[in-house]
């Protein structure tokens, strides 16, 4: 019922409520809850996380703000609360407006343009810090620089960073640095603070001083997400003074490592180079031509030595070939020579001679044989032959009368008995007929 009334009442739809923030809480959800109070009343306010992100300042207890939104009933508690869509600091409203207006104005003027930005020197010899001489910011920067890059000469240009005179002092400090050529680069900044405290860095005079500086300016305002006009104008924006000190100069240790690395590369190179050249030199000095000038000649000698036996062999082969041919020709010639025929004729002749001789011999032998046979036949017929067989020829002792019958002789007769090898003188002692036997 109440909810409907509230929701449908047009005068409750879009409200602006002014008051002081108290009991601020920020749960993990990201929503922000607080109580807005003034002398007479208090109102529970919630700003949802999606809206919180759009706020240009940080809500804090005790801060005077104006919230815009609508009232609704939180049914579970039977309570009503204010659902704020935007909030802005009360009392700084004009300041805030001024900030937005200046920002837009300078932006249109081109002071934030990227092409206006100067690049930082890589190795600054002198660094100026335009900041409060007392406080965390200058201490953080000095310590960081002494640690990372003690080579740089640091000049602190002390200025008030909050209060009425801050903007003038900061602008003057910037000018002092570049007009006196104190440094190669400067850091302008302070620690974080409220919008009010950061006011000087949102002033036009500081913005113009930064823009006018011919030496690069790093802005380093606050550790929170506040972006000041100075940040927009500066050549480089650092989130914190420490970050600015890290940006402004290189790390000496890294530089030394880099130089050591380069030195190592040079040494490695020269070592390799010398090694390579030594090897080349060694190759050259060890080359046969230099080591042994006679080498080439030796090689030629060797070739000659190798060729010579081949040549000899060839010569030998040629001669032998010739000899062979000659021999063969000789042989062939010999085969056709008349000597052969002569020899053959000789042989033939010899053969004929032999034949003739043998013929003669045969004939002689035959003749001899015939003679022998004839002789034998004759011998058979001769009385001597008979006598050889034991027969003898008897003659009368006186005369040549051959006694051929017993009747021709008388006892007492002398007989001459002829034998082949001699003769006997015999006297007949008896004469007998064939059938008479001595008694």
Partner 1 sequence: MMNIPSDSNTSDELNFEAALGKLEETVRALEAGELPLDDAIAKFQLGMQLVRACREKLEVAEHKVELVLAAEQGIETTPFIMDTKGLNTND
Q: Which residues are near partner 1 by CB under 8 A?
A: 121-126, 128, 132-139, 142, 145-146, 150-151, 153-158, 160-162, 172, 176-177, 180-182, 184, 190-193, 197, 252, 255-256, 258-259, 262-263, 265-266, 269-270, 273, 277
- Contact assessment for residue 45 and residue 36, using Cβ atoms and an 8 Å cutoff: yes
Least Å from the CB of residue 270 to partner 1: 5
- Contact assessment for residue 201 and residue 219, using Cβ atoms and an 8 Å cutoff: yes
Q: How many CA atoms lie within 13 A of 411 on its CB side?
A: 5
Least Å from the CB of residue 160 to partner 1: 8
CB closer to partner 1, 81 vs 162: 162
Identify the H or E element spanning 173. helix 166-179
CA–CA–CA angle 36, 42, 47 (5° rounding): 35
Residue positions counted in the chain: 439
32-37 and 42-47 beta bridge pairing:
antiparallel
Q: Which DSSP string corresponds to 217-234?
A: EEEEE-SSS---HHHHHS
Q: Which DSSP string corresponds to 267-329?
A: HHHHHHHHHHHHHHHHHHHHSHHHH-TTHHHHHHHHHHHHHHHHHHHHHHHHHHHHHHHHHHH
CB closer to partner 1, 3 vs 280: 280
Least Å from the CB of residue 189 to partner 1: 11
Nearest of 423, 398, 402 to residue 413 by alpha carbon: 398
Place of tokens 């090898």: 421
CB closer to partner 1, 111 vs 206: 206
Torsion region of 428: left, alpha or beta (phi above 0 gives left; psi -120 to 50 gives alpha): beta
Least Å from the CB of residue 93 to partner 1: 23
Least Å from the CB of residue 75 to partner 1: 43
Least Å from the CB of residue 193 to partner 1: 5
Encoding tokens for residue 171?
């602008």
DSSP conformation class of 28: T
Least Å from the CB of residue 130 to partner 1: 9
Least Å from the CB of residue 237 to partner 1: 19
CB closer to partner 1, 35 vs 132: 132
Identify the H or E element spanning 360. helix 338-381
Least Å from the CB of residue 164 to partner 1: 14
What would you measure as the largest C-alpha separation in the chain, in angstroms? 244
Least Å from the CB of residue 261 to partner 1: 9
What does residue 13 show for φ and ψ, rounded to 5 degrees? -75, -50
CB closer to partner 1, 170 vs 233: 170
CB closer to partner 1, 112 vs 149: 149
217-221 and 236-238 beta bridge pairing:
parallel
- Contact assessment for residue 95 and residue 196, using Cβ atoms and an 8 Å cutoff: yes
Strand partners of residue 72: 81
């Amino acid at each position: 019922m109440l909810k409907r009334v509230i929701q449908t009442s047009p005068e409750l739809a879009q409200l602006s409520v002014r008051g002081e923030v108290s009991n601020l809480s920020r749960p993990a959800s990201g929503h922000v809850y607080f109580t807005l109070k003034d002398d007479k009343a208090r109102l529970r306010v919630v700003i949802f996380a999606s809206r919180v992100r759009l706020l240009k300042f940080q809500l804090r207890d005790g801060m005077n703000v104006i919230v815009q939104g609508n009232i609704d009933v939180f049914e579970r508690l039977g309570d009503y609360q204010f659902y704020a869509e935007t909030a802005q600091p009360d009392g700084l409203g004009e300041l805030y407006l001024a900030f937005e207006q200046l920002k837009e104005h300078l932006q249109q003027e081109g002071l934030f343009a990227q092409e206006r930005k100067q690049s930082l020197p890589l190795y600054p010899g002198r660094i100026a810090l335009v900041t409060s001489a007392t406080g965390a910011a200058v201490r953080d920067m000095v310590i960081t620089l002494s640690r990372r890059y003690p080579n740089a000469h640091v000049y602190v240009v002390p200025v008030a960073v909050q209060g009425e005179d801050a903007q003038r002092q900061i602008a003057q400090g910037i000018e002092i640095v570049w007009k006196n050529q104190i440094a190669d680069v400067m850091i302008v900044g302070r620690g974080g603070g409220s919008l009010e405290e950061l006011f000087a860095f949102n002033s036009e005079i500081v913005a113009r001083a930064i823009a006018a500086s011919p030496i690069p300016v790093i802005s380093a305002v606050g550790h929170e997400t506040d972006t000041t006009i100075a940040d927009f104008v500066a050549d480089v924006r650092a989130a914190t003074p420490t970050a600015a000190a890290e940006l402004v100069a290189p790390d000496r240790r890294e530089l030394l490592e880099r130089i050591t690395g380069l030195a190592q590369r040079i040494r490695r190179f020269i070592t390799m180079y010398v090694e390579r050249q030594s090897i080349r030199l060694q190759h050259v000095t060890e080359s046969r031509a230099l080591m042994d000038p006679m080498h080439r000649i030796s090689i030629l000698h060797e070739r000659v030595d190798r060729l010579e036996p081949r040549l000899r062999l060839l010569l030998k082969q040629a001669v032998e070939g010739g000899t062979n041919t000659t021999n063969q020709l000789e042989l062939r010639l010999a085969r056709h020579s008349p000597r052969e025929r002569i020899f053959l004729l000789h042989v033939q002749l010899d053969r004929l001679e032999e034949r003739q001789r043998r013929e003669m011999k045969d004939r002689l032998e035959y003749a001899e044989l015939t003679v022998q046979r004839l002789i034998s036949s004759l011998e058979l017929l001769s009385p001597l032959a008979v006598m050889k067989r034991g027969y003898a020829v008897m003659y009368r002792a006186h005369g040549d009368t051959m006694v051929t019958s017993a009747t021709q002789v008388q006892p007492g007769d002398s007989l001459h008995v002829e034998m082949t090898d001699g003769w006997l003188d015999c006297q007949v002692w008896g004469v007998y007929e064939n059938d008479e036997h001595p008694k």
